[in-house]
Amino acid sequence: MELYYGSPKEAGLDELRLANVDRLMKRYVNDAFPGAVLLIARRGVIAFHESYGKAQIVPVERIMQKDMIFDLASLTKSLVTSIIIMRLIEEGLINLRQKISTIFNEINKDETKREITILHLLTHTSGLPAWEPFYIGLKDKNEIIKAALNAFPSNQPGEKFTYSDLGYIILTGIAEYVTGKTFDELFKEYVMHPLKLKDTMFNPPESLKPRIVATELCQWRREVLVGKVHDENAYAMGGISGHAGLFSTAFEIAKIAQTMLNYGTYGSNEILSKSSVTAMIKNYVKNLNAGYGLGWMINDNPNGTSAGDLFSERSFGHTGFTGTSVWIDPEKELIVVLLTNRIHPTRENTKLIELRPRIHNTIASTIKS
């Protein structure tokens, strides 16, 4: 199945209730975010795709357009890293329960680190810290990967769920080490080219800047960021990492989401096997009072998720610090891509955290049949 634009009726959605969604989004403009793009697809039909507010408000104003390109932040973990790692597993280059000490021999001296597996990294159960300011003092990707490997775990692997960028920085190094290719090259080979993505990339060129949504007035770089990755560690890694760095549009994110909903295929292209997708969207951390699969948040989470109250427990998705998210509900055959610039011009505005579940609840209520 491939996505196409159609009517709410074709998608089995209530047009009057979709108007409620539209009103809700307009209400949040200039409160939770300067601007946003929302795309809703069901059963392969894009029934709603609208833009709101401004793509930038300082030092110049630009109106948001539906085809604008966003810094996706941690959506990179789902849309890139999870797929690359599963492809390497399919090709027999690595396996989930492989200890990373078999790849990076230098960590063998640390007894705790010797037990960390690729599965632990993917599911944020490695015991590694959530974040470290590697960008201060470290110059490039290899130095930062090495620093992540040298970070001291706070607990034994598998004992606790701690959402960690460090694990995905290490996964970047693993993918490059076992293939001899750069992470960017792997993304192009496994995702970008097969799905014919034109607006999804790391380090977008200057020519696309008019279409790129602004993020923060960065105190470190002393400029409003437009087309430069917001995440400081990803920036120090040259803009390319498994934890952050991807830019894309709502439509092209929806193509990747539909591929996941199709269990690995899009049209005639197979990106992943059905077995891989089935493994990716299982909750590996329910015993740790959380919900996470292989690179994807799982809605089967005792603490709730940004998907709200009306998406099924089988739903999976991800959020990004810059104000981005995607949620996929296999039971409802539903995809929601919600992209905002909530950190423009400052990250202090956190209202979106509370509002995301409300928006998703309103969307889920539009389903008629």
Model pLDDT, residue 39: 99
The larger pLDDT score, comparing residue 110 to residue 178, is at: 178
- Contact, 338 vs 359, CB < 8 A? yes
Q: What is the rounded average pLDDT for all residues in the chain? A: 97
State both tokens at 172.
């970047």
pLDDT (tens digit per residue) in 218-277: 999 999 999 999 999 999 999 999 999 999 999 999 999 999 999 999 999 999 999 999
State both tokens at 284.
């590996």
pLDDT (tens digit per residue) in 92-143: 999 999 999 999 987 777 777 889 999 999 999 999 999 999 999 998 999 9
**Three-class SS of residue 65?**
coil
Beta carbons within 8 Å of 350's beta carbon, 6+ residues apart: 342
Model pLDDT, residue 110: 74
Model pLDDT, residue 111: 78
Model pLDDT, residue 251: 99
Q: Distance between CA atoms of 189 and 224, rounded to whole angstroms?
A: 32
Q: Which residues of 317-335 are buried (b: 16+ CB within 10 A; e: fewer)?
A: bbbbbbbbbbbbbeebbbb
pLDDT beyond 80 at 27 = yes
Share of the chain above pLDDT 70, in %: 100
Q: What is the mean pLDDT of residues 286-300?
A: 98
Q: What is the mean pLDDT of residues 70-84?
A: 98
Q: Distance between CA atoms of 226 and 231, rounded to whole angstroms?
A: 12
State both tokens at 327.
């949620």
346 by Cβ neighbours in 10 Å (0-12 / 13-18 / 19+) ranks as: exposed
pLDDT beyond 90 at 177 = yes
In the 8-state DSSP scheme, what is residue 365? T
Q: Report the range of poorest mean pLDDT among 7-16, 33-42, 107-116.
A: 107-116
Model pLDDT, residue 105: 84
Q: How confident is the model at residue 66 (pLDDT cuts 50, 70, 90)?
A: very high
Model pLDDT, residue 106: 77
Q: How confident is the model at residue 160 (pLDDT cuts 50, 70, 90)?
A: very high
Q: What is the mean pLDDT of residues 200-224?
A: 97
- Contact, 301 vs 291, CB < 8 A? yes
- Contact, 308 vs 360, CB < 8 A? yes
Model pLDDT, residue 270: 97
Using the Cα atoms of residue 294, residue 298, residue 300 and residue 304 in order, give the sign of their dihedral: positive
Q: Distance between CA atoms of 121 and 158, rounded to whole angstroms?
A: 10
Q: How confident is the model at residue 330 (pLDDT cuts 50, 70, 90)?
A: very high
Q: Distance between CA atoms of 316 and 215, rounded to whole angstroms?
A: 26
**Three-class SS of residue 336?**
strand
- Contact, 229 vs 242, CB < 8 A? no
pLDDT (tens digit per residue) in 332-361: 999 999 999 999 999 999 999 999 999 999
Model pLDDT, residue 314: 98
